[in-house]
């Protein structure tokens, strides 16, 4: 969803700001993460916030 070097276009993000999330990238050598990894991170965080048992 967008080139790895730039991501989604700013105009797209501006139109969907209330439905957008940001996953911090702490390692500068990593340019992007794939979709399945992103889904896993989002699902983990959603379950964590719902106090889902491990």
Q: Where are the beta strands (DSSP E) in the chain?
A: none
Is 4 among the domain residues?
A: no
* 43 is a domain residue: yes
Question: What's the total number of domains in the chain?
Answer: 1
This prediction has a pTM of 0.68
Domain contains 19 = yes
SS3 state at 54: coil
Q: How confident is the model over 38-52, as a mean pLDDT? A: 94
Is 3 domain-assigned? no
Rg over CA atoms, the chain? 13
Segment 40-53 mean pLDDT: 93
When pLDDT is cut at 50, 70 and 90, the band that residue 37 belongs to is: very high
Tell me the two tokens of residue 45: 């965080």
Tokens encoding 11: 């105009």
Element (H, E) at 43: helix 35-49
């Amino acid at each position: 969803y967008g080139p790895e070097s730039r991501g989604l276009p700013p105009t797209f993000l501006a139109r969907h700001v209330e439905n957008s999330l940001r996953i911090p990238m702490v390692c500068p050598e990593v340019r992007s993460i794939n979709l399945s990894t992103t889904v896993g991170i989002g699902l983990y965080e959603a379950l964590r916030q719902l106090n889902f048992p491990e």
